[in-house]
Amino acid sequence: GYMFAHADLAPNAGVNPGEIAGNGRDDDGNGYVDDVRGWDFDRNDGTVYDGTADDHGTHVAGTIGAAGNNGTGVVGVCRSVRLSNAKFLGRNGGTTANAIRAVDYFTDLKTRHGLNLVATNNSWGGGGFSQGLQDAIARANAAGILFVAAAGNSTVNCDTGSCFPAEYQVPNVIAVASITSTGAISSFSNFGARTIHLGAPGSGIWSTVPGRGGASSYASYSGTSMATPHVAGAAALYASRNPGATAAQIRTAILNAATPTTSLAGRTITGGRLNVAGS
């Protein structure tokens, strides 16, 4: 979940336009009552922000789309984005079944309700191959939604090890490794010359987090979870600058613009790092 009331996120916090808040009804007929801000599949309710334990999602959201030109905090890769939420991880982790439901939630919002959903950010991992999850990602692909996924933080070669969901071979997947501010691959980052597409900044990333008592705060986190939203934000930015671009076109533009980077040569498909200006 993410703190949609955070001062740097509230201007870009999206809502489900087909749902009326607080009336106890499933207005848009998607099976979820009052999913105005999204849905929490772990707790099966519409409260997608559950307090300071949702710092991870809040940090990720800030990298994607924190507000700009407001004289405070940070700015996201895409300042004109609208952020939605499908939460399936809680204090005790989550299930693949709920991950599938979360992916399908967004696919339904786009296909039945016409929301301009460009990409989902998937800063999570774990478990082995799931045909059900692969099928859900394929349904998102058919709906034109990119699936941007974290490579993982175990220094694993994903060509030979397990790095799901990053290594699903579906055309809408963009798998992201982490690099440092000097361009080195982060010491923790997974990699894979045939499975991980490119690198993005993931070491020492400053972004939004919940503070005590509902305050808006900021912190520095590291992980491929922090690299992934740079790419998801880039997808949204490209879509905003190129109306009508398909998911395949956005993905191709991002991958073709990757800047060759020594630390990623032979460790990622592109051998390069994210270059938003070049895409």
Mind listing the pLDDT tens digit for each residue in 122-142? 999 998 999 999 999 999 999
* Residues of the chain falling short of pLDDT 70: none
Query: Which of 235, 190, 211 minimizes the C-alpha distance to 64?
Result: 235
Predicted local confidence at residue 102, as pLDDT = 98
The token pair that represents 260 in the structure block: 């060759």
Q: 136: helix, coil or strand? A: helix
Predicted local confidence at residue 213, as pLDDT = 93
Q: Indicate the residue type of 134.
A: Q
Predicted local confidence at residue 279, as pLDDT = 80
Predicted local confidence at residue 45, as pLDDT = 96
Task: Give the DSSP per-residue string, 52-111.
Answer: GGGHHHHHHHHHHH---SSSSS---S-TT--B-EEE--BTTB--HHHHHHHHHHHHHHHH
Predicted local confidence at residue 113, as pLDDT = 87
Q: What are the residue numbers of the active site?
A: 27, 56, 225
Predicted local confidence at residue 235, as pLDDT = 98
Predicted local confidence at residue 44, as pLDDT = 96
pLDDT digits (tens, 9 = 90+) for 191-206: 999 999 999 999 999 9
d(CA 246, CA 117): 11
Q: Indicate the residue type of 51.
A: G
Check residue 47 and give left, alpha or beta (phi > 0: left; psi -120 to 50: alpha): beta
